[in-house]
Chains A and B, each alone.
Chain A
């Protein structure tokens, strides 16, 4: 019997129309694509927009263009199923197809979109509850309350970034295009997320995520490893994206790592880039000694909190193992 509260539903057909509506209505308006995140949250009164603007009928948001040579643009409303099944994405960006495939279930991937996943509301055991339950704890900092129950002394909300695609986008250096009535801007995925469970995006409420620009596939490779309890449904309680680019040519028969990134998702309000892991890998041969050092760095920097499924210590331990897996996956496909 969980029903949606009353709201106004708008269906613009162009980007200009969409951003105009949100500009006119103001902060009580919110964009929606597949609705798989927003609607359950609205039912539980975690999010309470009064105007909901569907962007599913804006054709420009629904396209995949380009190729691996020049880079690919994915419209924000492209469904996760379309990404999972897209031949070009599978060929040139298998890490994106793979990460998308680990999201939720086949049915929800038919509805959920890439944009929705990249903007996914942060999650927390104290927040992702129905109204009655949250009322019983006097609510929490993220919505309607004063205290963060995860860290009661904290002035900051610790709800967790729980998207599978976010760490991958950060690792490969994707860019997002945002539009508003004031114009457009591009922003790096790496700079798009704030380490704050409430104010977790650099996107202003009046901005629409238009598309995602994947960089050309000029020799880099990337992988993603997801920790979850079940083979379907579950949000990541840890996601590790690994990115590697080698120097041209070989030294002593070995290829040297020119660039490397390890990005952890699912353990903090924002994706966590492990600079020490990059440092451990860059300039060295891609062999197990340095891979282990990188994994150790990820372990040290991973500080999950006790606000999703699984206890913290185990998730922290797994940061090492999953970083190893993610990096080794890149080694074998040499």
Chain B
């Protein structure tokens, strides 16, 4: 059983034909081929599957797609505009914020979210702001530096 479900993904209006209980993560990856959104744990603990729904960052592995009817979704693929990297993305490149890269899409979104809500976060605010995303490569230090750099560049 599938349903037709209108929504907006990365600024484009689309109608999905989906099982309502499919995870948003799987729909993005398998149906829309937006594979930048990653699965690390499948239970909301690692943040690799982060996406924006109506401007709020959520774990797409815990969202049945039926929940996003009419919603505006933004994934890592929608962060750069016209080939121009977002300041956060550029900072991750410059400061070494990405190593293996698997947490990077989620981490970039969390950083973008943080800076949208708080353009000049303190060190402590950066740490708590990114606390829903796990990274095993960097020890987070270069990620914190990337966020600080992105603030300076904006």
Report which A residues bind B (CB closer than 8 A). Answer: 1-4, 6-9, 11, 34-36, 39-40, 43, 52, 54, 56, 81, 104-108, 110-111, 231-233
Contact = CB atoms under 8 A, between A and B. Distances in A.
Given A105-B132, A105-B133, A110-B56, 14 more contacts: A2-B42, A11-B69, A35-B62, A36-B44, A40-B62, A54-B66, A106-B128, A108-B44, A110-B57, A111-B59, A111-B62, A111-B63, A231-B127, A231-B131
Nearest to A231: B131
Given A35-B63, A35-B64, A36-B44, A106 B129 contact: yes
B146 interface: no
- 3 smallest A-B Cβ distances: which pairs? A105-B132, A232-B131, A107-B132
Given A6-B21, A36-B44, A107-B47, A232 B128 contact: yes
Contacts of A9: 20-21, 64, 66
B91 to A, nearest CB: 20
Nearest to A39: B62
Nearest to B52: A110
B115 to A, nearest CB: 13
Nearest to B43: A40
Interface of B (DSSP majority class): mixed
B66 A11 contact: yes
A195 B131 CA distance: 33
Contacts of B63: 35, 111
B23 A107 contact: no
B17 interface: no
B45 interface: yes
A112 to B, nearest CB: 9
Interface residues of B, number: 31
Nearest to A44: B43
Given A43-B43, A54-B66, A107 B21 contact: no
Nearest to A230: B131
Interface of B: 20-23, 26, 39, 42-45, 47, 50, 56-59, 61-64, 66-67, 69, 110, 113, 127-129, 131-133
B123 to A, nearest CB: 13
A104 B44 CA distance: 10
Given A43-B42, A43-B43, A233-B131, A106 B21 contact: no
Nearest to A40: B43
A231 B62 contact: no
A108 B59 contact: yes
Choose among A40, A43, A104, A107 the residue with the greatest number of B CB atoms under 10 Å from its CB: A107
A232 B132 contact: yes
B98 to A, nearest CB: 19
A7 B131 contact: no
A233 B66 contact: no
16 contacts: A2-B61, A3-B23, A3-B26, A4-B23, A7-B21, A35-B67, A39-B43, A40-B42, A43-B43, A52-B64, A56-B67, A81-B56, A105-B131, A107-B50, A107-B110, A111-B62
